[in-house]
Structure 1
Amino acid sequence: MANESYEKTKTPLIYSKKQVERAGRCIRKQEGDIEQAVKVIQNFRSAHAYPLTIIKNLVWKHVRSLGLLDTATVARRLKRLPTILDKLQRSSLNGGESCNAIDLRRMQDIGGCRVIVQTKKELEELNASLDTSRTVHESRTYSHLEVAKDSGYRGIHRCYKTYSKKSEHASKGFNIELQLRTKLQHVWATGVEIIDVVENESLKTNPTQANYKWKRLLVIFSEFLAEKDGFIELNSVTSKTLRLELLQLAQDLHAVEKLNSFNRALDVKEISARAKEQGFTLLRFDLKTGNGSASFFPKNREQDAMAKYAELEAELDQDVILIAGRDIKKIEKAYPNYLGDSSTFVSLLAEAITTW
């Protein structure tokens, strides 16, 4: 049963399904009342907060039952508004193979939960445990482990539709995406986001328009990490060939130097101390200056937190994330791009170049 405090922070969806669909089409075609469409999308996104908490709690129970609480990281977040708008407006979502006709209501990842475990064994055990879960939420699983996506991404995605097995529920039919990753897979994925910030690239959101050398570096680096994790095994000739290519790409791009310049923007220790008694923490990263800041809101001021989040997201040079809960250290592990931490990515990249 959901905690009463979560019940109190529910944001109701005040628009009909057809209104949500129309808002998505309005943004995609850039026709009609754009301002109103954005308001509808903001409310639709906010309404995902409670269903997201429900799925996070479900996952947390499995993490606990497997004895992984001390080593695993469980975090959640709502997709940033600019990212939602960008996804709606992209001409294609699959590298140009077909036109983008995505329905806003069918977006899988507006509400996202992330679990980071240490090893391949723990990842497989957690996924298997979730398969056995007796729940009112339907789920579909997509695995990208042995064979990565074209970008080099690896991990498991489980897409939940909340309360779909119930005939009626206020939170019925919300899509929540659960990402399961090993620590090394997570280093790779968040490294992509850091590179996008440092280089003003679109490796994550629009890879067809991104720099080819960065894309190739990430694909090769993913192979190194997958072998280190135990998902694949490469022969010595292939390893040497890839290492030499990776070295050349890193030199051409000045990759290590650029990523090392992405210094820690926020004082995590100070933020953690202040966030202990708060319900929501809003992290802000200025893309122009590289400076970060944090704002705090108690549990009974969720609407104020959401309003400030929406205000900052309207500023194109601001990267912001609203965090529910008080453990910022989990966010430091789950979303290092928001806290300016590229050190692990750089360390592993250097290892791949010199020893692979």
Structure 2
Amino acid sequence: MKYSRKKITKAGNILLTSKSEEEINDALNLINDWRTNHLQPLKVMKRRLVKLLEKSKISPILISQRLKRLTSIVYKLDLNPQMGLGGMQDVGGYRAVLKDVKDLYKLKAILENTNYYNRFEKCNDYVENPKPSGYRSIHYIYKYSSKVPEYDQLKVELQIRTKLQHNWATAVETAGIITKTSLKSSQGPDEWLIFFRVVSSLFAIKENLPVLDEHKDNTMQELMVECYNLCVKLNVIDTLKALRVTTEHLEKQKFPGDYYLIHINTEKKGVTINVFSKSKYELATQKYLEIERKIDDSKSAVVLVSATSFKDLKKAYPSYFLDTSEFLNALEKINTNCIKLELIKTNG
């Protein structure tokens, strides 16, 4: 690696504790350079994943990659101070969203039984053992080997999840904007946290997966009633629908490029996109840092991602367009079924 783990951790600590503007700027530039170095491993690993999926005849809903946002890096360091920035394993991340659990487990078996991914370091299965928040996905950490010092030994994270799990995660991130908290890290208003845990277990039942421990004694009908009541109390459906960003003006553009810098203003519900070719990746990451330094985290967000078209971009990162339409479709079906069940019970 170009930078030692110790040096990166020191830069992260400066970011968290220093009051010197010069020190912070130097740390930011170093961190951004280190973060940028993850683009090459990500590109190679994602390409290998695509080939593996094609060979295995698995058709993913989408494949995407991103560089972790500075705000997310700082937040994670605050939550895990003992980890240190040098120990962070998901600064570079790529993701495959699969049609269903069958495809998910097929890919899981292939990933864990092939020498194709011989740099494998660790697996966290949050599908069989979901996080307390209700989050479900399978995470793999890989260490990249290269003759180029900048890329050698860098770690990247692969996430694989089903479409339903992806819809849930998107809604949690978007709702976090409403509450101005990190709901996905179990931080925020209790009722919103309870709501997403209940929906997680209902989605799990639909996919024949384990419900959360707290719901093991609940029937599906009881969870549906709780989901419906919380939906009404929190006005979930109307609130999430009202958040959506208008993108018609963007959809008319072709957006030829490889890297997309998405800057969303959550207050004005507007989004700006800058497009960069592969050869301009350094300019893209410089612009990324420039915007990160200026924005007010409570009113806007920025992320650098890779996609082949605007359509794929929106599909891969719906939370950055405040688009929870697929989650809402699933939620409305649950609520409709709940009402039918209650009517049947009432009319006995």
| TM-score (normalised: structure 2) | 0.87
* Residue deviations 1:284-330 (CA, integer Å, cap 9, x gap): 11122111121122332222211111111121233112223433322
Contact 2:2 2:151 in 1 (8 A): no
Counterpart of 1:173 in structure 2: which amino acid? Answer: Q
**Other structure's SS at 1:54 match:** helix
Distance 1:130 1:147 in 2: 19
Q: Which residue of 1 aligns with 2:300?
A: 318
Distance 1:300 1:68 in 2: 31
Distance 2:283 2:221 in 1: 54
Q: Which residue of 1 aligns with 2:7?
A: 19
Counterpart of 2:153 in structure 1: which amino acid? Answer: G
Paired residues, what number?
328
Q: Is 1:126 aligned to 2:107, yes or no?
A: yes
Q: Select which of 262, 287, 295 maps to 1:283.
A: 262
Give the drift of 1:265. Answer: 3.3
Deviates more, 1:215-224 or 1:58-67: 58-67
Contact 1:106 1:175 in 2 (8 A): no
Root-mean-square deviation over aligned CA pairs: 2.3
Q: Which residue of 2 aligns with 1:351?
A: 333
Contact 1:59 1:130 in 2 (8 A): no
Distance 1:242 1:123 in 2: 25
Q: Which residue of 1 aligns with 2:58?
A: 68
Give the drift of 1:28. Answer: 3.5
Q: Select which of 206, 209, 212 maps to 1:228.
A: 206
Distance 2:152 2:278 in 1: 24
Counterpart of 2:190 in structure 1: which amino acid? Answer: Y
Q: Select which of 193, 198, 206 maps to 1:215.
A: 193
Q: Which residue of 2 aligns with 1:297?
A: 276
Q: Which residue of 2 aligns with 1:257?
A: 238
| TM-score (normalised: structure 1) | 0.85
Unpaired segments ≥5 residues, structure 1: 1-12, 94-99
Give the drift of 1:153. Answer: 0.7
Identity of aligned residues (%): 28
Q: Which residue of 2 aligns with 1:52?
A: 42
Distance 1:171 1:190 in 2: 30
Q: Which residue of 2 aligns with 1:10?
A: none
> Against the structure 1 CA distance between its residues 286 and 170, is the aligned structure 2 distance closer, same or farther, given a 3 Å change threshold?
closer
**Other structure's SS at 1:274 match:** coil
Give the drift of 1:258. Answer: 0.4
Q: Which residue of 2 aligns with 1:81?
A: 70
Contact 2:265 2:300 in 1 (8 A): yes
* Residue deviations 1:103-137 (CA, integer Å, cap 9, x gap): 21211111111100011110000011111221441
Give the drift of 1:168. Answer: 8.4
Distance 1:279 1:79 in 2: 17
Distance 1:323 1:235 in 2: 38
Deviates more, 1:105-114 or 1:135-144: 135-144
Give the drift of 1:227. Answer: 1.2
Distance 1:175 1:157 in 2: 13
Task: Please show how residues 145-164 of structure 1 align to structure 2 within 5 Å.
Answer: 145-163=127-145
Task: Give the structure with the higher percent helix.
Answer: 2
Counterpart of 2:40 in structure 1: which amino acid? Answer: Y
* Residue deviations 1:58-99 (CA, integer Å, cap 9, x gap): 211221112224x431111010112112222x2x34xxxxxx
Q: Which residue of 1 aligns with 2:31?
A: 41
Give the drift of 1:193. Answer: 0.7
Distance 2:239 2:189 in 1: 15
Counterpart of 2:142 in structure 1: which amino acid? Answer: Y
**Other structure's SS at 1:261 match:** helix
